[in-house]
Amino acid sequence: MTLLRKKMEADMKLAGLRPATQVEYLRVATSFAKFFWRSPSEMGLAEVRTYLLQFVELGRSTSTQGVYLGALRFLYGVTLERPHELDGLRPPRRRQQLPEVLSGSEVQALLGSVTSLRYRALLTTIYGAGLRVGEACQLRVRDILSERGLIFIRDGKGGRDRCVMLSARLVTELRAYWVVVRPPREGYLFLSRDGRAIQPESVRLVLKTAASAVGITKRVTPHCLRHSFATHLLESGTDIRSIQAMLGHQSLETTQRYMHVSAQHIGGIRSPLDLLGTEAGRVLG
């Protein structure tokens, strides 16, 4: 698959796919070829169906299944120039799970338990600005616009730039971090001890350890901090459109999920049971 691999690599670069996506798509294409020990050019829809079915039977998540299908669609549709080969396949229907959200006291305890100045500053940034872990790891010093009270997010999900708020408390945290670490002004903001950008997997591990240390039994991930940021904004009265813009959601429907997990929002709605027999209940007939 060497020649095919080189063509697929070139096609993905021309398509502007992110480096991480390119790596994942190549991994899937290689795995597919090894599964049958044949070149993908000699196979088609039947083999793709068989290959994907194994992941359904193994209970892999729908998002994982979607990545496999996306990789093979690119392989056949672009690299092999057979755009209609997989028309019969549809992405798996995703279960609409409500996001896991921490309370304010849980967030405070969690951040307070992180002893590493580097990781505490990074995790505080994720929660304080609602960033994705990859966005936080890729921040550069020049992206902190302290004089304007903003953080500039470059090339976020979908290739979109955006600005988010820079809280006064986060400025204090970042200044304390900068005094000790002194990241170069033109380089990444959050550096590991070897001078490279901190990697998302390291952040996940630190966060998992911190959650265990403070006794939080929820499944705590960096994205959980982002969910908590959005929910807490909603509960403190921020309008849904502003939250959408800060999170970088293309669709308002995605942002509206947080209305379903906000205790203040749901708890503030009166049940019609409470209106029966009251003056306000006359509108019910």
pLDDT at residue number 97 = 63
What pLDDT is recorded for position 208?
94
Residue 179 is encoded by which pair of tokens? 């005094």
In a domain, residue 98? The reply is: no
For the chain, the domain total comes to 2
- Euclidean distance between CA atoms 213 and 111, whole angstroms: 11
For residue 259, being part of any structural domain is answered with: yes
Residue 274 covered by a domain: no
Q: The CATH number of the domain where 40 resides is what?
A: 1.10.150.130
* Residues 201 and 258 placed together within one structural domain of the fold: yes
Residue count of the chain: 285
282 part of a folded domain: no
Per the domain annotation, does 26 fall within a domain?
A: yes
| CATH number of residue 251's parent domain | 1.10.443.10
In a domain, 149, yes or no: yes
Boundaries of domain holding 146: 104-267
Each of the 285 residues of the chain gets a pLDDT tens digit; together they read 689 999 999 999 999 998 889 999 999 999 999 999 999 999 999 999 999 999 988 888 888 888 999 999 999 999 999 999 999 888 877 665 666 888 888 999 999 999 999 999 999 999 988 899 999 999 999 999 988 888 998 887 777 788 888 888 999 999 999 999 999 988 999 999 888 999 999 999 999 999 999 999 988 999 899 888 888 887 777 777 777 777 877 776 666 665 555 554 444 545 454 554 677 656 554
The reported pTM is 0.68
Residue in the block written with tokens 């070829």 = 33
Task: With respect to residue 141, please indicate whether it lies within any of the assigned structural domains.
Answer: yes
Residue 94 resides in a domain: no
The CA distance from 137 to 188, in Å, is 8
Strand order in the sheet with 162-165: 144-145, 150-153, 162-165
Q: What is the pLDDT of residue 282?
A: 67
Residue 123 burial (C-beta neighbours within 10 Å; 0-12, 13-18, 19+) = buried
Q: Tell me, yes or no, whether 128 and 210 share the same domain.
A: yes
Q: Please identify every residue annotated as catalytic.
A: 132, 157, 223, 226, 249, 258
Q: Enumerate the H helices of 132-183 as residue ranges.
A: 133-137, 168-181
| Rounded-to-integer distance, Cα 78 and Cα 12, Å | 9
